[in-house]
Structure 1
Amino acid sequence: MKKEVIKVRGGRTLTGEVDISGAKNSAVALIPASLMASEGEVILEGLPEISDVDTLMSLLNDLNIDTDLEDTTLKINAENAQNMPLSNNKVQSLRASYYMMGAMLARFKKCVIGLPGGCPLGPRPIDQHIKGFEALGAKVTNEYGAMYLEAEKLTGAKIFFDVVSVGATINLMVAASQAEGKTILENVAKEPEIVDVASLLNKMGANIKGAGTDTIKIYGVDKLRGTRHNIIPDRIEAGTYMIAGAIKGKNYRVNNIIPTHMESLTSKLQEIGVEIEEGDDYVVLSHPKTYKPVSLKTQVYPGFATDLQQPITPLLFLTDGVSKITETIYPARFRHVDELRRLSANIEKKSGTALIYPSELQGADVYASDLRAGACLLLSGLIANGVTTIHNVEHIDRGYSDIVRKLEELGADIWRETIE
């Protein structure tokens, strides 16, 4: 059986410019939300070229929705959408398929959808989603591994989230946009991607206020229509390339970013000793002569992003002391540690924390367990002696647009190979 791997030969200095793609975590919510336009065409511009976008387009096609993707622009015409069960392996291939629930419930008042899949990061229940749907008047049951949602009508409600959840915030915001009356969502997530989805919905005719704060108010409308929307830059992709610049960069520029979205990472890189020059929509980085060890803790936005916890780990092997990472969002998000040890990394993990010791990495065969773990291993390859071979690259392709080409143009010695 043949499969593709990514190979990296470490040691190269990175220089030049890289352009950041549209936000994956916005795209996977914007595409499902577009199916709610019963009139006209939704045009999404600046989408990332990733496999998750292809999967969501296929799910829309299963609902008799026309899609047309050209470069990074996707046209979606849902005027003739038909409600069909989505209980197949497409749903199980990505976590964000659960956004189809809120959109289909709002559009059709019922849906059947398989349980979501995605990266194996430990327990990530959808109980807050279900609680919210039921508060809006839906009946939710789980039968034979599929979720059944149905409501005679959706009615506005006051919903307090027991835990801050990006997915539940977006899903309930989407569903409530066509509920009767006013919905108030409290203790919600504040991520930029939530603001991006609210912006699209408002352009479609929704009435949403407060996105980006801890309380969102949604005044239900009868109908949503087509519009044009430009997606925000991907702050996690931007962070990954900023870390690459901190590791091996010299006069290294990251374009198409929103600097305020990157503040938690930027301040941590500066604490480590990285030189950073910030512009309106870019940063320029150069690696320091010596790196200082740090402690960091993942937090909900605007704190340090859990999605950057794994990618920043290779940088910490370069410091002159012991660094500590505490993971508060997904305590099980350390499956990359065993793979780093294959690269001769000195790292310890224990109950939601990792201690990272100065290490000289050696190239080896490693296996990506999830999307951000794959990015971690790829960045590790930039500093390892010899060649690092990364398997399970389909995880990386789910969230990083053309990452091999982008790193190669920056000067990395990196390539894809098909092997037995």
Structure 2
Amino acid sequence: MDKLVIEGNVPLRGRLRVSGSKNAALPILLACILAEGPVRLRNVPKLKDIATTLQLLRMLGCGAEQNGEIVVTCVGQNLIPEAPYDLVRTMRASVLCLGPLLARLGKAVVALPGGCAIGSRPVDLHLRGLERMGATFELEAGNIIGRCKRLKGAHIHFDFPTVGGTENLLMAASLAEGETILENAAREPEVTNLADFLNACGAKIQGQGTSIIRVQGVDRLNGAEFGVMPDRIEAGTYLVAAVITDGELYLENCSMADLDAVVYKLREMGVWLQEGKSGVLVKRGTNLVGVDVMTQPFPGFPTDMQAQIMALMGLADGSGTIKETIFENRFMHVQELVRMGARIKVSGQNAVVRGVDQYIGAPVMASDLRASASLVLAGLAAKGSTEVLRIYHLDRGYEELEAKLSQVGARIRRVAQ
């Protein structure tokens, strides 16, 4: 198992290109099941989760390959409606094949996802919505078995603006009979990117990016060429990397509009950002100050940036409070940051962060993807050497992390254990 070794306290300077979004690419790849022609996707990152999804598509009977661009072909007579546990357990996004398989084949056998380190991610909102559209489900030997004739449009109100649930029903509704209305739908840019892809294939979707999405079902979807949006969480992570090291970075392929809540909090802390023609320039403007942050569904502050902003606040003047409202167990990075000298106290959903002058390098262990990123950020700013263990989490969500950081001056290397 590999680890990262970081010699910190070096300002990062230069240009970085933000990769395509993992969280947008995964549902778009699974939406290819709906298309009766070949799909060609651009700007897809080379990540472990992408490789797993391509493997899943091949097991479902699709042609799927990544060679620069990704080409997916899902021929109806070759499709198999079964997603096995061995793959689903490694990547919860695999459950997003449920809606497309039901819509295309009328049957889906999808293993229940396993546990998640950052908390519960139940699929009941997915199933309830699909039942409203005419599907029936039973649980057998750890598998969700769904059946339907043809899904029918329905009026569905989500109790919570679930990203995965919105994506699953959006895909299913594209081939359903009649109109589907999704209320209290997730508004994340990745959901909008999925809807735009489906429309490029011939779907009739309106309202994406708002809380009410209307889908007029069609009889078939065609293949298409499409570009995946930039990864706003990777972009946010590199914004913090520039500031926490007192450096200056220009991030290419970065949209401030998708990071509005993050940008607002960074500016409140004293960070200087300027949007250019092809990206964003970022550097520390004044002394950093602590702020209060509460994670919320988009357009609020993203839970996937909570750990990174905490690492930055740990070096700010004064104190601030971070409230995590999305996942019940997403402060596991706190004790690892404390090992590096951070002053953080957790009480329930709240973490009070009091700034310190310096992090000190130490061996730390990652618990999940974004926790891993926060420890790397702390290591980049720390005095001395930091070892980040269990970095397989990072490989799921950051394309060529150490190579990108090295090109802007970071002293970071991967070491096999």
Correspondences of 1:134-145 after superposition (within 5 Å): 134-145=131-142
2:129 matched residue in structure 1: 132
Correspondences of 1:123-272 after superposition (within 5 Å): 123-272=120-269
Of residues 139-148 and 19-28 in structure 1, the stretch that sits farther from structure 2 once superposed is: 139-148
2:382 matched residue in structure 1: 384
Mapped contact 1:258–1:280 kept (Cα < 8 A): no
Residue type at the aligned position of 1:398 = R
**What's the TM-score, normalizing by structure 2?**
0.97
What value does the CA root-mean-square deviation take over the aligned residues? Answer: 1.2
2:344 to 334, 347, 355: 347
Deviation of 1:119 after TM superposition, in Å, equals 4.5
1:410 matched residue in structure 2: 408
Deviation of 1:87 after TM superposition, in Å, equals 2.0
Question: In 2, distance between residues paired with 1:251 and 1:315?
Answer: 15
Q: Give 5+ residue unaligned stretches, structure 1.
A: none
Mapped contact 1:298–1:309 kept (Cα < 8 A): yes
Deviation of 1:336 after TM superposition, in Å, equals 0.8
Question: In 1, distance between residues paired with 2:344 and 2:250?
Answer: 30
Question: In 2, distance between residues paired with 1:115 and 1:364?
Answer: 38
Question: In 1, distance between residues paired with 2:112 and 2:278?
Answer: 38
Deviation of 1:250 after TM superposition, in Å, equals 3.1
1:16 matched residue in structure 2: 14
Question: In 2, distance between residues paired with 1:119 and 1:383?
Answer: 29
Q: 1:199 to 1:328 in 2, by over 3 A?
A: same
**What's the TM-score, normalizing by structure 1?**
0.96
1:78 matched residue in structure 2: 74
1:90 matched residue in structure 2: 87
Of residues 206-215 and 352-361 in structure 1, the stretch that sits farther from structure 2 once superposed is: 352-361
Question: In 2, distance between residues paired with 1:356 and 1:250?
Answer: 23
Q: Which aligned segments of 4 or more residues in structure 1 are displaced greater than 3 angstroms?
A: none
Residue type at the aligned position of 2:330 = R
1:401 to 399, 402, 405: 399
Percent identity over paired residues: 39
The DSSP-based 3-state class of the residue aligned with 1:408 is helix
Deviation of 1:280 after TM superposition, in Å, equals 3.8
1:69 to 66, 70, 76: 66
2:372 matched residue in structure 1: 374
The DSSP-based 3-state class of the residue aligned with 2:181 is strand
Deviation of 1:114 after TM superposition, in Å, equals 0.9
Mapped contact 2:81–2:101 kept (Cα < 8 A): no
Correspondences of 1:258-407 after superposition (within 5 Å): 258-359=255-356, 360-407=358-405
The DSSP-based 3-state class of the residue aligned with 2:192 is helix
Partner deviation per Cα, 1:97-132 (whole Å, 9 max, x = no partner): 111111111111111111124742111111110110
